[in-house]
């Protein structure tokens, strides 16, 4: 009987975007060299990230307003346009070898969406993938989770950002994902309930495990970092 592929999961807590970006890059190299796939779960301090399809016009606030709100801006190597990350948002960065999982990029993105949708269903929220030209996970025409990935040969990085108790007003500083007419929402806005980010991470990992038919094992950051050293 074949064993399910193993994926290490790690809760990073609040981690600056650039620090998590560097960790992802190191893990991509490690996975390409044969190390075990990894699922990083975390939240970021306030930051606007601008993907490969973003343009300066997608950033609506000037430097004074960004400084007043303590929001950093990072031009990223992920796909997609502009998005916001901040406290109360669950961010998931799977660094996985699609060849090991027997997946194409479209198949991977479909399963990533499905894992988030399944978790939201656990919270009593009906959601669905975006329509034509729209990525992420949506509820009643509003975006609950953004998705943007990067492929390095067969290894994928970056991932999703799910709004739990996110301060939605901060999305006013960008054209989110290139669609000015589309608005974000959050688990708190939909259910009037607050969900702790770490608790959400540990529950979400169960859905990631089921949807991708893999075995998740939780590990401390120290053991993850040793692999990249």
Q: Which residues carry out catalysis? A: 177
* 3-class DSSP state of 200: helix
Measure the CA–CA gap between 196 and 177, rounded to whole angstroms.
Answer: 25
Closest CA to 179 of 88, 82, 42, 91: 82
Measure the CA–CA gap between 180 and 166, rounded to whole angstroms.
Answer: 19
Question: Element (H or E) spanning 93, and its range?
Answer: strand 89-97
Neighbouring residues of 25: CB distance < 8 A, sequence distance ≥ 6: 157
Beta bridge partners of 156: 96, 151
Length of the chain: 229
Measure the CA–CA gap between 136 and 115, rounded to whole angstroms.
Answer: 11
Beta bridge partners of 142: 139
Antiparallel, parallel or unpaired: β 89-97 and 128-129:
unpaired
- Classify residue 36 by its DSSP letter: P
Angle CA(124)–CA(125)–CA(130) in degrees, nearest 5?
155
* Residue whose token pair is 């007419």: 181
Query: In the numeric block, which tokens belong to residue 72?
Result: 């950093």
């Amino acid at each position: 009987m074949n064993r399910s592929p193993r994926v290490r999961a790690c809760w990073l807590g609040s981690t600056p975007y650039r620090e998590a970006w560097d960790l992802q890059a190191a893990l991509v190299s490690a996975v390409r060299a044969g190390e075990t796939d990894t699922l990083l779960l975390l939240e970021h301090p306030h930051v606007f990230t601008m993907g490969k399809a973003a343009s300066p016009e997608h950033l609506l606030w000037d430097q004074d307003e960004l400084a007043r709100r303590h929001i950093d801006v990072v031009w990223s190597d992920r796909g997609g346009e502009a998005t916001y990350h901040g406290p109360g948002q669950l961010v998931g960065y799977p660094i996985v070898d699609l060849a090991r999982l027997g997946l194409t990029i479209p198949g991977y993105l479909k399963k990533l969406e499905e894992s988030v949708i399944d978790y939201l269903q656990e919270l009593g929220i009906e959601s669905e993938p975006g329509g034509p030209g729209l990525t992420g996970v949506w509820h009643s025409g509003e975006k609950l989770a953004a998705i943007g990935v990067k492929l390095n040969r067969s290894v994928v990085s970056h991932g999703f950002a799910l709004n739990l108790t996110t301060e939605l007003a901060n999305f006013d500083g960008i054209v989110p994902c290139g669609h000015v007419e589309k608005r974000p929402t959050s688990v708190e806005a939909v259910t009037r309930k607050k969900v702790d980010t770490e608790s959400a991470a540990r529950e979400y990992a169960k859905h990631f495990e089921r949807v991708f038919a893999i075995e998740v094992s939780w590990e401390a950051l120290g053991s993850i970092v040793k692999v990249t050293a």
